[in-house]
Structures are given as C-alpha cells and as structure tokens.
Structure 1
Amino acid sequence: MPGPKDLDPFSSPRALLGAELRHAREKKGLSQEALGQKLFVSGTFVGQLEAGTRRLRPDVAPLVDEVLGTNGFFERNCEAANKSRYPEHFAEAAEAEAQATAIRQYAPLLIPGLLQTPAYAHAVNRAYDPTAPEETIDEWVAGRMERTRLLDHPTTPLLWMVLDEAALRRKTGGQEVMAEALRHVADLARRSRVIVQVLPFSAGAHKAMDGSLKLMDFQDAPPLVYFEGPGTGRLEDDPATVAQLRFTFELLTASSLSPEKSLALIETLAQDYTHEEHP
C-alpha cells in the first residue's frame, strides 16, 4: 500500500501533519500514551501534535518514522510544517493561539498583541530592536496584525484579558498612539468581543508579579500555558502547572476592577491622552 502523500506546505501543513500522525498511529494500533512512550514524550504531547497545537521537532521526526514505519514521511515534511513568519520563540504559541477556543491572558507591561493597533505594534517592535531596518519592523507589524484576524469571528475564541494599570499608563509610541490604542481596546470591549479587566495599582501585591501568562484551551487537545520573557518563550502542558496558573489567573480577575469599571478607566485614560492631560 502506498504511503501518505507529502504535505502541501501552503495548506495548513501543521494540521495535515497531525492528521497523518493520527492515521499512522491508529494503523499501528498504538494509543497516544503508547506512542509517547516510544518517542520519550507524554501521551498528552502526542495528542497535541495530532491536533496541530504543538510542532513536531526535527529531532523527533525520524524516530516517529522509525516507530510508525512511515518511510521518512514525517522527517521530509517536518520542515514545511514548522515554517512560520513569527520569531522562533513565539512561533509555536502563535500557531496554538490560532486554534484555541479560549485565551486568558495577564499582561503586566503592555497591551497584548491581539489587542494592538498597527501604530502601537510598530512602537513596541521598534523598542524591541532600535536598529532594525524599517522593512523588518513593517514585516513584524504585519505578522502581529495577521494574528488579530482571530477577532474577525464574533465569538470564537473567547478572549479574557487582565491588563495591569502599568500597561495603560506606559506611554508607548506617544500620546496619540496611546489614545488610539486604548480606544481600540475599549471598542472591542464595548462590542463584547473581549472581556477586559484592569488590575489597578491600588490592588497592591499579587500572585503574578513576576511575569505575564497566557492560558489557552482547545476543543480536541489539552490546555496549554505560555510563558514569555525578553526574546524567549515556552509552552507548558503539564496539567499541574496549567491548573496552578489557571488559579493564578482567577485570583487576578478577583483583584481587578469589574469589566464595567475597567472600561470606564480605559476610556478616561484615552481621553486624557487625546487632550494631552495624562500625567
């Protein structure tokens, strides 16, 4: 019987590779857990590969071919499936984000990428790399704006953002850029496309003071959490870790202003920036 065809890299290669992995695994009569043991990964990770929420690493692909007898199929197609317009440390998270049914995020220092305007995204990326050519910055901004197409659907995914007050008061790109950025966030909230809560300075110390977090839920795969730092990022699927950080997010929402009061504060700050009255 002929083996599976090589993937078309222009037609959702990650999803196609996951479907082929599921087909080859079931043909071998292996459970996700059994295949994971042979690949030295968890059964959960295998499920995420099949769902297309995690990427098949080049060092694992040959072992998959050996275990499943797929004649080098996964090794050949792994590179195409892993191509991304995003930085290496964020690529897997961005692609998982695109398949999530719910995204809950705490942003301590800046407006999250999914809520950014082009001008705000340009200012952020220019700050990340002050010496980058303008064409490179434009390419990064285009990639970030591509991610915001998730918001084109009226209800999916669920977006729940907790923004630290610092993210609203840090003048990124100047007052005009900040006014536009905050009006955009307010508009999304008013259209019920995103739940936004502001964690005010008055809340004092809290459980996530050491960094940001992003929780992602999926229809056919276990949840993930994404940690990010300067030039680095990591996806985590350990159930205990995910559960602990889900509790952290719940504590943050409890300490934050209500969505109504948060919206009022965001719109007030937008007006302050507009009239150059922001202290």
Structure 2
Amino acid sequence: MRIVFMGTPAFAVPTLRKLAAAHDVALVLTRPDAVRSRGKKLEPSPVKEAALGLGLPVMEANRMTPEVLDALRAVEAEIFCVAAYGCILPDEVLTMAPLGCVNVHASLLPRWRGAAPIQRSILEGDAETGVSIMRIGHGVDTGAYCAQASCPVLGKSSDELTAELAELGGDLLVRTLPAIADGSAVWIEQDESLVTHAAKIAKAELRLDPTVSAQSNERRVLASSDAAPARCIVAGKPVRIMRAAVASHAPCLTGGVCFMSDKRLLLACADGVLEVTSIKPDGKREMDAASFCAGIREETAGWGKLA
C-alpha cells in the first residue's frame, strides 16, 4: 500500500518503522526542526531522524501551505496515516487520498479525547488504556474508530506507558490497514455520553501535596515529565520526585512530615505514606533516596507543596 505518514514525536516513530517495513511510505511529513531540549540548538523531530535513517523522503511543515498540498498530491498515496503530527489538517487533506486519513490515538476512545490522554489515564487511576485507529474529522478526536487494543496502566510511568502504547499502536495500524483497504473494516461512531477530555497537563497539577492521598501523589509522580515535573519541598529544599510509590510498611506519621532513616525517605500524606526512591534537588543531579538522606541531619522534617 502506498502511504503518506504524518508524525512528529517519539510516540510516532514505532508506527513509522512498522509501516515502512510492510508498505511503501512515499512521503513523511513532520514538524520543522525546533529547540526540543534544554539546549539552544535546533533539533530534528524524532520522526525526521527515523525517516532519514530509513531512507524515506521527508518534508517539514507546521501548516498546510500550497507547496505542501502539491507535494501530497504528487505522491498519489492510497491513504494518509497520522500519529501525533501536531497540525490541524484541512478538509482538502482529509479527502485527498482514496482511503482517507486515519490516526493512531493513544486512548480507548471515547475516553480521553485530547492532548494528554496518557497522563490523564494515569492521574485518574484507570485500570487500562490503549490505542484507537480512528478517522480524522473536524473535531478533536471525534472521528469513528475501527480498531482498538488495550494494556494495563497500574504502576507505569508516563514514559513507560507512552513507549508501550507507541508499539501497540504501530502494530494495530499495520494489522488494520488491509481491512480498511478492502472495505471490511467496521467503523464505530463514538458514544458522546462516554466522552472524557484529556486537557494538556498544567505544571501545578503535578505538584505533590501532603493534604491529598499517598496514592494521588504517587500518580502525580508517575504522570510527570520534564515539561510538568512532580515537585515539592522536602526538608526545606525544592526537589523533583523522580520515582516513588505508596509505602506498604511505614511508621505512623502525621501528614506533612518526612522521615529519613535507614536509607528510606518517607513523605506522610493525608491517608498514608509515599516512599521516595529517586529524587533530584534543584541544581543537582538525580540521586537515590539514601544519598539525599545522607545530606540531611534531622531524622524528621517537614515537606510541603511548592507555592
């Protein structure tokens, strides 16, 4: 099958690789080079890097200019496949390929339409999430879907879940394309009564808070990222909590107290204790809890939410 692929972040790379192994990817469309890390240099998107490594033609665009539309027409693709491209596609693009335009979305639609479905599934404590192969329409993730695959959420970080769903989505798309091509795919309209929206994560949402449950704080750590880290104050020091889990065996502590003993760092929450295993004080490298505790003289101190 002759395909145009559109994608930008690392989530889209497994789908591109799997499509390239099974089909003719005639053109890869991705967003332009940008400052993507803490440095000041322009960097190519993960999809651009992968496409060049595969020897595929690449075009960079953050909007559908006449030149981009001409390039899309010229390749005469049968279908456009999208995974986290990050650009609104006009009707002309949606109807250009005979088989239309399909998207790999990282949720079990209609749950979690929107920008941050993976993080929202973690924060809400969903037992499972997954991927959907859907038609792209005018609304945000409102199109009908023809295939879904699921996986458990419990205990996985945002990065871990993203990587798993990326592989799952690529496999599902490749398996589903033949049914889309021969018309046997069954398209299911989304039940609007079951819709939930996955708004972009704000930094304030992931700040740890001693007045909420230990489980809620654990989910904030799991859902955190460089863009929205799980931060708090521990023993007077602003820190990012890199890894933590609800403690199964811990001393009885009052909420807002941190306990540092026997190489353990425990943060007392509203209804339990969060045990920190990896932490990054501001201006320092990431370290394990024992190393952090070694630099604090007190066995108990306070911890709290960043202002």
Q: Normalising to structure 1: TM-score of the pair?
A: 0.29
Give 1 or 2: higher strand fraction.
Answer: 2
Give 1 or 2: higher helix fraction.
Answer: 1
Higher relative contact order (CA 8 A, sep 6+): 1
Q: Which has the larger radius of gyration?
A: 2
